[in-house]
Structure 1
Amino acid sequence: MHINLEWQQLKDEAASMIKKIELLEVSKRKLLGECLGSCTIEELQQIEQQLERSVSTIRARKNQVFKEQIEQLKRKEELLAAENARLSDECGEPPRSVTREDILLLEEQRESSSILLLEEQRESSSISDVETELFIGLPETRTKRLTPRK
Structure 2
Amino acid sequence: MVRGKTQMRRIENATSRQVTFSKRRNGLLKKAFELSVLCDAEVGLVIFSPRGKLCEFASSSIPEVIERYKRHTKDKVQPVQNQSVDIPQHTKQETASLMKKIELLESSKRKLLGEGLGSCSLEELQEIEKQLEKSVSTIRARKMQVFREQMERLKEKEKALTAENVLLRKKFEGLEERRSSKEGEVIFSIEGSGSDKSDVETELFIGPPHESRIRPLN
Tell me the TM-score normalized by structure 1: 0.50
Q: Pick the structure with more strand per residue.
A: 2
Q: Which has the higher contact order (CA 8 A, sep 6+)?
A: 1
Rg larger for: 2
Q: Pick the structure with more helix per residue.
A: 1
